[in-house]
Amino acid sequence: MARYLAHHARTLAVATLARRLVAIRRAHSLEGLSDPTASALVRQTFRGLRRAYGRPQRRVAALTTEDLMTIVSSLGTSTKDVRDRALLLVGFAGAFRRSELSAAVCTSVEWTARGIIVSLPKSKTDQEWRGRRVGIPYAQGPLCPVTALATWLTVSGIADGPVFRPVTKGGHVLACRLSGDAIVAIVKQRTAAIGRDPAFYSGHSLRAGFATSAAVAGVPVWRIKAQTGHASDAVLSGYVRNHDLFAGNAAGQIL
């Protein structure tokens, strides 16, 4: 096990090696076998590799409520603009990953008097296929994700199949779903259009933006986790970007 880690240390990130250790540990546990990752030699080897090759995990910028307002205000009435408005607002309000937006189908969206409920059959944090339901309420003003989605479905004529689809230059809506990479490209394009460096943004910026904006607004952590699907406060805290290092600063409370 120690030789395995040392062999891959120069080609794989430390975080990748850590995930592989977890997978190996779990596989052995399921078979009732002893854990090969638990030995002192393996632990010491991994700590050494972390010191030698470890580096801060890249964190994309958060696309906050203010950013969304600026982007939405810049969009017109073309088919692509209508789609992107719905994609960004639903992705933000649901704290969805790009894979979840790509996989969304009409039958997974339930329309109610208070908003929509999106059913997720499986996600990164739900490896046991138990599924999760995410509520997205109506909102006042131009940032309403429910209204934006309804407008997109009406304009596109989509009644079944994938919700978010490619749109040709001529405004024709294709039958296939948007890929995760296409969703990333849309986020980058729209952030670049408002003067931001697209290199710092990705599909995950919507999820990070929701967590950050909710935390800044004082939403309780348990409510944020209910929307994002996180089980751990520690993991969720990694999604909250430091927008204002002085607001509520602990030192400011005691000095």
pLDDT tens-place string over residues 81-99: 999 999 999 999 999 999 9
CATH superfamily of 65-237: Intergrase catalytic core (1.10.443.10)
User: For the chain, where do the domains classified as CATH 1.10.443.10 start and end?
Assistant: 65-237
Residue 202 to residue 191: CA distance in whole angstroms: 10
> Mean pLDDT throughout 11-35?
88
Instruction: Reply yes or no on whether the pLDDT at 132 is more than 70.
Output: yes
What pLDDT, on the 0 to 100 scale, is given for residue 250?
A: 54
SS3 205: helix
**Sheet strand arrangement including 132-137:** 109-111, 115-120, 132-137
For 162, residues 6+ apart whose C-beta sits below 8 A from its C-beta are: 102, 104, 105, 175, 176, 177, 178
Q: Does this model's pTM top 0.85?
A: no
pLDDT tens-place string over residues 135-164: 999 999 999 999 999 999 999 999 999 999
Poorest-confidence range of 97-101, 133-137, 216-220? 216-220
What pLDDT, on the 0 to 100 scale, is given for residue 213?
A: 86
